[in-house]
């Protein structure tokens, strides 16, 4: 508490009304956030110092980073630690499909969501230790790694989990909640001995395949709880994939409805403007459970035939030859075509080496043509060591697109 009081005093000596915060040290971040909260500063949270907005916002803003934290040499006692009602925090969207967008959140938006998590997952109240492979600088990590644990009195491991082996060191002595992402869970190693004492695993930032969900269950002894949402909406729904048709269950404080275009409209106390239309198509089932049908911006029309790029990816990823894939739509004024960037499995690498590129690509097209009209099957392929993911486990499709402009 004395560090917090010192941080509040330190921040109060600066005249700037806006604080730009990019600290990877969770403890330093916590102090900076709480000091801004008490003083009613306008706060923008960044994931890295290389973003355009971080580099361009200089005037009348105070930048707090790992290299420039708040000083701890102020008074240890201050009278007023009440929350400012004027507090506003801005988070940035992932920018996975274009320019990152700045999204406002009031403290009430954030507090109510963290409180809702504690009220929903009551079976975890006795689990008092949290470890994480995700950053606190995005909305998912901020809520699950910082705010929820702080409000519920849980201890949080300050270091991020980077490798599977790190789990063996940290979770073996403590029952813990593990916060992760599809990118990390895909990399879990079957050859390493199973990890015990993981009470729950949360995953967000992208959809898990049933295969990865099953593999996680076998290695960590618990099936991941996937959280679906966005920076704008916060959490919308959750699921555990006990079967391939597992539906999404909306969070208790969230209401969902459909637009005329079958897009998901979300109303929630976690949203600054109370409601938001997502770019996801969905089908509503009984008990307000729903199925995601893919993003509207990932439906392409190739020579008058509509196709889901997500469906092509799922089909590719189901092949033993493929480890991961990303499919895009390209149109150059003359031709319309789908293109696929693919990470091959060891089996795929071996077969491609034996057959050569041309014959191997023909096999992929033949497999896809069993499920899709030939006109929508990818005409061009790029084989890569890994796909370009950002820190939120979202594929950077602009980077994928650049692979086909070479």
Q: Please tell me the predicted confidence (pLDDT) of residue 1.
A: 66
The pLDDT score that the predictor gives to residue 72 is 67
Inter-helix orientation angle 346-355/357-369, to 10°: 120
Which CATH superfamily is 303-403 part of? ANL, C-terminal domain (3.30.300.30)
Which residues, 6 or more positions from 68, have their beta carbon under 8 angstroms from its beta carbon?
none
Q: Which residues contact 70 (CB under 8 A, 6 or more apart)?
A: 6, 7, 10, 11, 28, 31, 32, 35, 64
pLDDT of the residue at 215: 92
Phi, psi of 372 (to 5 degrees): -135, 155
Please report, for the chain, the start and end positions of each structural domain, with discontinuous segments joined by +.
2-92, 106-296, 303-403
Please list the residues that pair with 130 across neighbouring strands. Answer: 156, 177
Q: How many CA atoms lie within 13 A of 206 on its CB side?
A: 25
Cα separation, 21 vs 352, whole angstroms: 47
The pLDDT score that the predictor gives to residue 86 is 66
Kindly give the confidence (pLDDT) of every residue in the chain, 406 residues in length, as a single tens digit, with 9 standing for 90 and above. 678 888 888 888 888 888 999 999 999 999 999 999 988 888 999 887 766 667 676 667 899 988 888 876 655 444 555 666 668 899 988 665 556 788 999 999 999 999 999 999 999 999 999 999 999 999 999 999 999 999 999 999 999 999 888 888 776 677 899 999 998 998 898 877 777 889 999 999 888 988 899 999 999 999 999 999 999 999 999 999 988 788 999 999 999 999 988 899 999 999 999 999 998 989 999 888 999 988 888 888 888 788 889 889 989 999 999 999 999 999 876 788 999 999 999 999 999 999 999 999 999 999 999 999 999 999 999 999 999 988 777 888 889 999 998 6
Say which CATH topology domain 106-296 has.
Rossmann fold (3.40.50)
Q: Which residues are 227's β-sheet partners?
A: 238
Q: Which one, of 22, 40, 393, lies nearest residue 187 by Cα?
A: 393
The owner of tokens 């934290």 is 69
Distances (CA, A) of 318 to 212, 304, 314: 11, 27, 6
CA atoms 286, 291, 293, 297: torsion sign: positive
Helix ranges (DSSP H) in 13-97: 26-39, 52-56
pLDDT at 192: 78
Long-range CB contacts (< 8 A, 24+ apart) of 118-127?
A: 118/148, 118/151, 118/152, 119/252, 120/251, 120/252, 121/200, 124/177, 124/199, 124/200, 125/152, 126/175, 127/154, 127/175, 127/176, 127/177, 127/199, 127/200
What's the length of the chain? 406
């Amino acid at each position: 508490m004395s560090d917090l009081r010192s941080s509040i005093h330190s921040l109060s000596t600066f005249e700037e009304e806006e604080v730009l915060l990019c600290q990877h040290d969770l403890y330093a971040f916590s102090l900076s956030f709480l000091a801004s909260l008490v003083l009613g500063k306008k706060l923008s949270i960044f994931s890295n110092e290389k973003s355009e907005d971080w580099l361009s916002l200089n005037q009348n803003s105070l930048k707090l980073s790992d290299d420039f934290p708040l000083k701890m040499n102020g008074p240890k006692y201050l009278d007023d630690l009440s929350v400012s009602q004027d507090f506003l925090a801005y988070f940035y969207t992932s920018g996975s499909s274009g320019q990152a967008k700045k999204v406002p959140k009031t403290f009430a938006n954030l507090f109510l969501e963290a409180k809702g998590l504690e009220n929903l997952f009551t079976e975890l109240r006795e689990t008092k230790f949290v470890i994480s492979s995700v950053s606190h600088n995005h909305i998912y990590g901020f809520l699950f790694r910082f705010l929820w644990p702080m409000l519920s009195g849980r201890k949080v491991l300050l270091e991020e989990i980077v490798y599977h082996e790190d789990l063996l060191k940290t979770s073996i002595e403590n029952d813990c909640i593990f916060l992760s992402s599809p990118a990390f869970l895909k990399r879990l190693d079957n050859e390493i001995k199973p990890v015990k004492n993981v009470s729950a695993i949360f995953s967000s930032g992208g959809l898990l395949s049933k295969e990865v969900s099953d593999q996680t269950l076998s290695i960590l002894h618990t099936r991941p709880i996937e959280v679906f949402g966005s920076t704008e909406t916060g959490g919308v729904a959750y699921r555990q994939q006990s079967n391939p048709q597992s539906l999404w269950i909306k969070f208790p404080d969230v209401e969902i409805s459909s637009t005329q275009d079958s897009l998901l409209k979300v109303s929630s106390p976690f949203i600054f403007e109370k409601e938001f239309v997502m770019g996801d198509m969905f089908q509503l089932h009984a008990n307000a459970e729903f199925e995601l049908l893919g993003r509207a911006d990932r439906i392409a029309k190739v020579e008058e035939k509509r196709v889901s790029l997500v469906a092509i990816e799922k089909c590719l990823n189901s092949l033993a030859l493929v480890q991961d894939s990303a499919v895009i739509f390209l149109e150059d004024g003359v031709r319309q075509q789908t293109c696929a960037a693919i990470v091959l499995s060891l089996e795929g690498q071996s077969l491609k080496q034996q057959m050569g590129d041309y014959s191997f690509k023909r096999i992929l097209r033949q497999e896809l043509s069993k499920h899709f009209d030939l006109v929508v099957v990818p005409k061009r392929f790029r084989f890569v060591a890994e796909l370009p993911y950002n820190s939120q486990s979202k594929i950077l499709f602009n980077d994928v697109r650049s692979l086909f402009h070479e």
